[in-house]
């Protein structure tokens, strides 16, 4: 029997660095941003069902849009939490009976099927996979505008989503983080804290996260020129 895979699409953030309007509802060629990562997750055969984690403000709007778009795999739209980690944890606790989970930021609309498939393929074997890209710039640790240390660039990677985990492993990792009141900026760190090996798949520079207005300009430029075709 095949392993059951849940996709979690995160859309519960406030988008404070973007501004007043909801960044995931911005227009991209006639559809809101969130349509694109959802449609890509929907196309990946390995993913059985999808849960969307939303903030209260757009929960009903999303439910209606999903009906209209006729996506087949969306199991539910649920409410997120204060931090990204709380939103993921909510989704993990609400649904069980899956063997694996693929977690993706709704704010990364340029994700392609191929990268998701590579992450899943590696993840089924390794149980904990994150995606990322090697850094291009030199990274230094700075305190009060003074350099503390220069980090070895050849070992530094920028970490993105998708991230893929064995369900029981990531649930355990989130349970422990909750217990310790630990907050991390991705899900991988929570598994690292269990001293369980986490592996990396090389992602794509283009899989940017819409954080500020500039990012939306780039994403629009690409999508209008057929990047997702
Ligand atoms: N996210 C979430 N729940 C939260 C916070 C973030 O589901 N409580 C989601 C966002 O919707 C986004 C992804 O996690 O798809 C990555 O987060 P980020 O880019 O930081 O988005 P926001 O938190 O919305 O933006 P900001 O940090 O600028 O407020
Ligand atoms: Mg945030």
* Tens-place pLDDT, residues 60-74: 999 999 999 999 999
Pocket test for ligand 1, best of 22, 107, 159, 162 (most atoms within 8 A of CB): 107
Tell me the per-residue pLDDT of 120-140, one tens digit each, with 9 for 90 and over. 999 999 999 999 999 999 999
Q: How large a percentage of the chain has pLDDT more than 90? A: 98
pLDDT at residue 1 tops 80: no
pLDDT for res 96: 82
Measured in Å, residue 147 CA sits from the centre of ligand 2 at: 26
Q: What is the value of pTM for the model shown?
A: 0.98
In our burial notation (b when 16+ CB lie closer than 10 A, e otherwise), range 177-205 reads: beeeeeebebbbbbbbeeebebebbebee
Measured in Å, residue 11 CA sits from the centre of ligand 1 at: 7
DSSP 3-state assignment of 25? helix
């Amino acid at each position: 029997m095949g392993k059951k895979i849940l996709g979690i699409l995160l859309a519960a953030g406030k988008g404070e660095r973007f501004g007043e309007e909801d960044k995931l509802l911005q227009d991209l060629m006639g559809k809101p941003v969130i349509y694109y990562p959802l449609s890509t997750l929907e196309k990946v055969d390995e993913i059985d069902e999808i849960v969307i984690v939303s903030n209260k403000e757009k929960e009903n709007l999303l439910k209606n849009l999903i009906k209209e778009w006729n996506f087949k795999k969306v199991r539910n739209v649920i409410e997120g939490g204060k931090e990204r980690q709380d939103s993921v944890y909510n989704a993990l606790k609400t649904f069980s009976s899956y063997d694996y989970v693929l977690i993706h930021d709704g704010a990364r609309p340029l994700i392609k099927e191929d990268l998701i498939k590579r992450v899943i393929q590696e993840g089924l074997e390794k149980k904990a996979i994150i995606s990322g890209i090697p850094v291009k710039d030199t990274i230094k640790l700075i305190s009060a505008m003074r350099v503390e240390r220069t980090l070895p660039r050849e070992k530094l990677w920028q970490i993105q989503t998708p991230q893929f985990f064995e369900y029981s492993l990531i649930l355990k990792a989130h349970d422990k983080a909750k217990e310790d009141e630990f907050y991390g900026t991705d899900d991988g760190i929570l598994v690292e804290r269990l001293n369980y090996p986490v592996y990396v798949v090389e992602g794509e520079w283009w899989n940017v996260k819409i954080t500020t207005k500039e990012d939306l300009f780039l994403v629009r430029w690409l999508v209008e020129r057929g990047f997702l075709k």
